[in-house]
């Protein structure tokens, strides 16, 4: 692991790091905020998974999570959204290829050699964080935005017992029924593959989540029809899932929306992490 930068931030440290991932076969970059309490012992960890076109940097600089995580004594990690670099497959469209890993493990060429983002998040980066930083890995929570909201919800349900709580901002809730999903799943997984394990609505119908959920969706989101929040809400209701799903009047898909409600999400996770 190589430290690219560290900055004092709300009494703690905001760092940016690179390391080699066995899952992706590439160097990967992530950002990690450690609160002041990390200087004296392990602290809980919140994951923030970003959306299409983003890197580790977008949420690190725009979401405003550090202030509220510092207040709660929680670390927050911002991974990249895909493998990158020479020899890594890409696509001319913004919603496929580099910057659009969808937090799944690709099984189809040309994506399979490097696009192993579920394994990267849940194995490689998790193991590195546990080994290198003062983190209490028995107390993890996960959140994300858009494609990252899809990742947060699906990984939480696919890995029971790992995350004590899950939340999302404007998540892609039903990708198997959306143009933000069908195209990518066909390319990464194949048209004939079983997509159930990569779709939050289908996973909710099949198994649910063993913790509390919080989803915020803006009513003026320019991508509202691609997200299918109502499908996920119906699945939660059918399963009687412990979930709060809120439509926030007038908000769109931007980081201004995330910054407006990130305090409430951090507080939500803190209740589960310190329970």
- For the question of residue 221 being annotated catalytic, the response is yes
Selected catalytic residue, list 95, 105, 221, 231: 221
Q: Please identify which residue in the block is written with the tokens 């990569």.
A: 198
Selecting among 56, 253, 265, 269, the annotated active-site residue is 253
- The alpha helices in 82-194, defined as continuous H runs, are 117-119, 126-132, 147-158, 182-189
Q: Is 269 considered catalytic here?
A: no
DSSP 25-69: TEEEEEEEEE-GGGGTS-EEEEEEE--TT--HHHHHHHT-HHHHH
Does residue 210 have an active-site annotation?
A: no
How far is it, in rounded angstroms, from Cα 116 to Cα 97? Answer: 12
What whole-number distance in Å separates Cα of residue 246 and Cα of residue 239?
A: 18
- Among 50, 82, 146, 165, the one annotated catalytic: 146
- Is the bond leading into 110 cis (omega within 30 degrees of zero)? yes
Here the tokens at position 204 are 């909710």
Active-site residues: which are they? 146, 221, 253
């Amino acid at each position: 692991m190589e430290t690219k930068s560290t900055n004092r931030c709300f009494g703690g440290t905001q760092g940016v790091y690179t390391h080699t991932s066995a899952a992706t076969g590439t160097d990967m970059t992530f950002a990690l905020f450690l609160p002041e309490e990390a200087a004296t012992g392990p602290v809980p960890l919140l994951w923030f998974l970003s959306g299409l076109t983003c890197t580790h940097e977008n949420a690190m600089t725009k979401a405003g999570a550090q202030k509220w995580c510092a207040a709660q004594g929680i670390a927050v990690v911002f991974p990249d959204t895909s493998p990158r670099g020479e020899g890594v497959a890409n696509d001319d469209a913004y919603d496929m290829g580099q910057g659009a890993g969808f937090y799944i493990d690709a099984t189809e060429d040309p994506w399979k050699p490097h696009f192993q983002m579920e394994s990267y998040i849940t194995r490689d980066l998790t193991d590195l964080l546990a080994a290198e930083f003062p983190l209490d890995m028995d107390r993890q929570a996960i959140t994300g935005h858009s494609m990252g909201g899809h990742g947060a919800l699906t990984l939480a349900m696919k890995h029971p017992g790992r995350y004590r709580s899950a939340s999302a901002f404007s998540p892609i809730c039903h990708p198997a029924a959306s143009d933000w999903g069908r195209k990518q799943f066909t390319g990464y997984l194949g048209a004939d593959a079983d997509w159930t394990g990569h779709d939050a609505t289908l996973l909710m119908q099949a198994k649910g989540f063993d913790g509390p959920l919080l989803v915020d969706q803006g009513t003026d989101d320019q991508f509202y029809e691609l997200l299918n929040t109502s499908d996920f809400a119906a699945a939660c209701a059918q399963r009687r899932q412990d979930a709060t799903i809120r439509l926030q009047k007038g908000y769109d898909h931007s980081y201004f929306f995330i910054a407006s409600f990130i305090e409430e999400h951090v507080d939500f996770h803190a209740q589960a992490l310190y329970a």
